[in-house]
Chains A and B, each alone.
Chain A
Amino acid sequence: MLGLMWRGLLVGSLAVAASAAVRADDVVKIGSIYPLTGVAASAGNYAKQAIEIGEDIVNSPHPGLEKLLLGEGKGLPNLKGAKIQVDFADHQGNPSVGQSQTLRLITEDKVVAMLGAYQSSVSFSATAVAERYGIPFLVADSSAPNITGRGFKWTFRPTPIGTDFAKIYSKFLTELKAQGTKVDNVAFVFENTDYGTSVSSVVSDAIKAAGLNVVAMISYSANSTDVSPQVLQLRDKKPDVVIFISYTADAILYMKSMKTLDYKPPIEIADDSGFSDPAFVTSVGNLAQGVVNRSAWSMGPPGSPTAIINELYKAKSGQNLDDTSGRIMQGFFVLADAINRAGSTDPAAIQKALIATDIKPDQLMMGYNGVKFDETGQNILASSYLIQLQGKEYVSVWPAANATAKLVLPYKGWE
């Protein structure tokens, strides 16, 4: 009872402190935790740069971005043009550090909302702290299904998750089937830890529900020294479609072994990860021509808002914006928009605004069908594009409305 009172008091006092009058030159602070050191440091630092670009877009005008959320560059109009400021903290990829940094940002920096956290394990634990303190936590990029659905009222997630990918692949294949392409027999090749087994299971269920046959489920260890027996198994079963769920080293080994054994499926789909690693494209991109991959990010034609964002990001980081950093930047915009609509820095008002979120696709930089949260906080309009490796780059090929290039089938591999 005492604990409850104390918690109520704390939330109340935070709200009072935060909702004090906002002036034009005021800043609204949000906290952000990413792995800035440790094994995922490179991803964490790209995330930080993406958020900083987002901050800049909200706070100062950038011609051509006006259509996007807060793209006018006038700060937060409903808060008298207050600037938004992100306080970054490093969680080192460690869930308990993620919790303590979230606690510090909330209690000492007095942030009004949180953004994070790359690793699903960290998002899982840090959202619990925000829940306890009644501060909205926007999970921009972590895709483990169990982050939402724990009854949390303060966790919101715009990014697509495994079940969304399943919908996308089955829709893509049924569309191909309707056009007369043979896609009846589908084989899965997946690495045998949590990622591969969970994604292959939801995707294969969706494929079966769509009336297609799953002819092989080949699970393997990602640090295998030899994958030729698996390739020969595929060659025996002759599937119309092969779906790979792999990390980087094994993805490279598969492409090399398929070349050596002269095997190509008519359609090859890869689920992000290893196939999206820049090292994959540079080392075996010339053996994997025509592989279909997923990404919610598409650079778009020159002069389009997405192309302008990519230019800004490239000038800062030296790299083209990738799917993960893009989803993180999008998450930042969704959160900033909610704070603006709340017209207040009271966390409860921001939570209310997040629940009422209904963003249309043309306001987004990523290829979601919009942003609208269900009662668990998961975006029900999350989606992804399909991209295809053509030459040295992935280009957007599906759905047709967002395509920048034509889908080329069958899979070419090498030539």
Chain B
Amino acid sequence: MTLTLIQVIVSGLLVGAVYALFSSGLTLIWGMMNVINFGHGDFVMVGMYTAFVVMMWLHGGAGWIGPAAGLLLFALGVAVYYGLIRPVMRGPMLAQILSTFGLALFIRYTAFWIFSANFVTLPEGALGGTINLGGIYLGMPQLIAGIVAIALTIGMYLLLTHTRVGSQLLAVSEDRNAAMLMGIRPDRMQALAWGLASAAAGIAGALMAAIYPISPTIGETLALTAFVVVTFGGFGSVPGALLAGLMIGVVQALSAYWFGPIYRDVAVYAIFVLMLWVRPQGLLGTA
């Protein structure tokens, strides 16, 4: 195995970790409430602009971008739950789908209005530069994103399996009425789920702002990848999203390197279709 090939795989893994990071919020909301949030990519975009505002307009340090985006998006998630999701949950399925779709457009065009269509970026090296491990280069922002993705996955797992709040969250997602009879307030739990999932999207966005140029339409590109990652990993499974993200990252990198970049999505979607055929519930999903 040549050094370049190792580099291709390492780069793929790092990109995959970023995919996993911004997909985790989407899978969490599905797992908790069986709602698909079409605005997810745009939540990530808001996280990216939060990082931009903190660093460029408020002159805050890079250490603030994650917490700021996490808090802001937590609040946005809770507000969206009470203001939009709770009312439409009573309506037909179609209303739920279209409401988050409308939310996505609303957020996107608000961003156009505030930030214009021009691309912006964080200052170069905002999250550190490059590490050279004997000829293998690791981008610091990607590395941080990867570590946070893994930490987030473990954190979510521990929260759901080892805490009282976690059990309550699971109880509500299992059977809302039964949970209510046990003295759990389902509204609060679902608002919390939306808050946590949105905060995860926000932190992902803040970290990705150091890697990608920011524009109001970036959410569109990211959302598609997130849906593939989540379906591949199994809807509702956070560890599944991590595994799927890493796999997709490596498959894309290798196919782009061997066959050329225009074939990388062909390879990914071919595996995706094959996988749905063999295991429709996804890697770690439950049928």
A232 touches which one: B4, B119, B132 (CB < 8 A)? B4
A277 touches which one: B119, B130, B218, B261 (CB < 8 A)? B119
Contacts of A39 in B (CB 8 A): 117
Contacts of B175 in A (CB 8 A): none
Contacts of B260 in A (CB 8 A): 218-219
In the complex, A192→B263 CA distance in Å?
12
Query: Across the interface, do B261 and A230 meet the contact criterion of CB distance under 8 Å?
Result: yes
Query: Across the interface, do A225 and B221 meet the contact criterion of CB distance under 8 Å?
Result: yes
Interface window among A245-253, A295-303, A323-331, A395-403: A245-253
B137 at the interface (CB under 8 A from A): yes
In the complex, A223→B262 CA distance in Å?
11
Given A226-B11, A249-B213, A221 and B119 contact (CB-CB distance below 8 Å) = no
Q: Is the interface of A mostly helix, strand, loop or mixed?
A: helix
B252 at the interface (CB under 8 A from A): yes
In the complex, A229→B124 CA distance in Å?
21
Given A225-B225, A232-B7, A252-B213, A259 and B261 contact (CB-CB distance below 8 Å) = no
In the complex, A280→B260 CA distance in Å?
25
B168 at the interface (CB under 8 A from A): no
Query: Measured between C-beta atoms, what is the minimum distance from B39 to chain A in Å?
Result: 19
Query: Across the interface, do A236 and B4 meet the contact criterion of CB distance under 8 Å?
Result: yes
In the complex, A229→B265 CA distance in Å?
13
Q: How large is the interface on B (under 10, 10 to 19, 20 to 34, 35 or more residues)?
A: 35 or more
Query: Across the interface, do B130 and A284 meet the contact criterion of CB distance under 8 Å?
Result: no
Residue of A223, A283, A414 contacting most chain B CB atoms (<10 Å): A283
Given A219-B260, A262-B130, A226 and B253 contact (CB-CB distance below 8 Å) = yes
Which residues 46-87 in B have Cβ within 8 Å of A in the complex? none
Give B19's nearest chain A residue, CB to CB: A225
In the complex, A249→B121 CA distance in Å?
10
B-contact 0/1 string along A220-256, CB 8 Å cutoff? 1101111111101101100000000000110011001
A286 at the interface (CB under 8 A from B): yes
In the complex, A228→B15 CA distance in Å?
9
B-contact 0/1 string along A334-372, CB 8 Å cutoff? 000000000000000000000000000000000000000
A-contact 0/1 string along B223-267, CB 8 Å cutoff? 001000000000000000000000001001110110011101100
A283 touches which one: B15, B121, B249, B257 (CB < 8 A)? B121
A24 at the interface (CB under 8 A from B): no
Query: Across the interface, do B261 and A221 meet the contact criterion of CB distance under 8 Å?
Result: yes
Given A220-B261, A226-B15, A283-B120, A260 and B256 contact (CB-CB distance below 8 Å) = no
In the complex, A206→B215 CA distance in Å?
36
Query: Across the interface, do B120 and A229 meet the contact criterion of CB distance under 8 Å?
Result: no
Give B261's nearest chain A residue, CB to CB: A220
Query: Across the interface, do B212 and A219 meet the contact criterion of CB distance under 8 Å?
Result: no
Query: Across the interface, do B261 and A224 meet the contact criterion of CB distance under 8 Å?
Result: yes
A287 at the interface (CB under 8 A from B): yes
In the complex, A236→B213 CA distance in Å?
26
Query: Across the interface, do B118 and A279 meet the contact criterion of CB distance under 8 Å?
Result: yes
In the complex, A278→B139 CA distance in Å?
25
In the complex, A228→B264 CA distance in Å?
12
Query: Across the interface, do A249 and B215 meet the contact criterion of CB distance under 8 Å?
Result: yes
Query: Across the interface, do A226 and B252 meet the contact criterion of CB distance under 8 Å?
Result: yes
A-contact 0/1 string along B7-36, CB 8 Å cutoff? 110011001000100000000000000000
Contacts of B253 in A (CB 8 A): 226, 228-229
Query: Across the interface, do B130 and A249 meet the contact criterion of CB distance under 8 Å?
Result: no
Query: Measured between C-beta atoms, what is the minimum distance from A286 to chain B in Å?
Result: 6
Query: Across the interface, do B4 and A279 meet the contact criterion of CB distance under 8 Å?
Result: no
B45 at the interface (CB under 8 A from A): no
Query: Across the interface, do B261 and A279 meet the contact criterion of CB distance under 8 Å?
Result: no
Query: Across the interface, do B11 and A232 meet the contact criterion of CB distance under 8 Å?
Result: yes
Contacts of A252 in B (CB 8 A): 119, 121, 213
Query: Measured between C-beta atoms, what is the minimum distance from A188 to chain B in Å?
Result: 12
B206 at the interface (CB under 8 A from A): no
Contacts of B261 in A (CB 8 A): 218-221, 224, 227, 229-230
B150 at the interface (CB under 8 A from A): no
A-contact 0/1 string along B112-156, CB 8 Å cutoff? 000001111100100001101000010100100000000000000
Given A228-B253, A232-B8, A252-B213, A192 and B15 contact (CB-CB distance below 8 Å) = no
Contacts of A287 in B (CB 8 A): 124
B199 at the interface (CB under 8 A from A): no
B222 at the interface (CB under 8 A from A): yes
B-contact 0/1 string along A248-283, CB 8 Å cutoff? 110011001001111000000000000001111001
Query: Measured between C-beta atoms, what is the minimum distance from A280 to chain B in Å?
Result: 8
Give A248's nearest chain B residue, CB to CB: B119
Closest 9 CB pairs of A and B: A229-B256, A283-B121, A220-B261, A260-B139, A229-B257, A228-B11, A279-B119, A252-B213, A226-B15
A-side interface residues toward B, CB under 8 Å? 39, 192, 218-221, 223-230, 232-233, 235-236, 248-249, 252-253, 256, 259-262, 277-280, 283-284, 286-287, 414
16 contacts between A and B (CB under 8 A): A218-B260, A220-B262, A225-B222, A226-B249, A226-B256, A227-B261, A228-B11, A229-B261, A232-B11, A236-B4, A260-B130, A261-B11, A262-B137, A278-B118, A279-B118, A287-B124
B-side interface residues toward A, CB under 8 Å? 4, 7-8, 11-12, 15, 19, 117-121, 124, 129-130, 132, 137, 139, 142, 211-213, 215, 218, 221-222, 225, 249, 252-254, 256-257, 260-262, 264-265
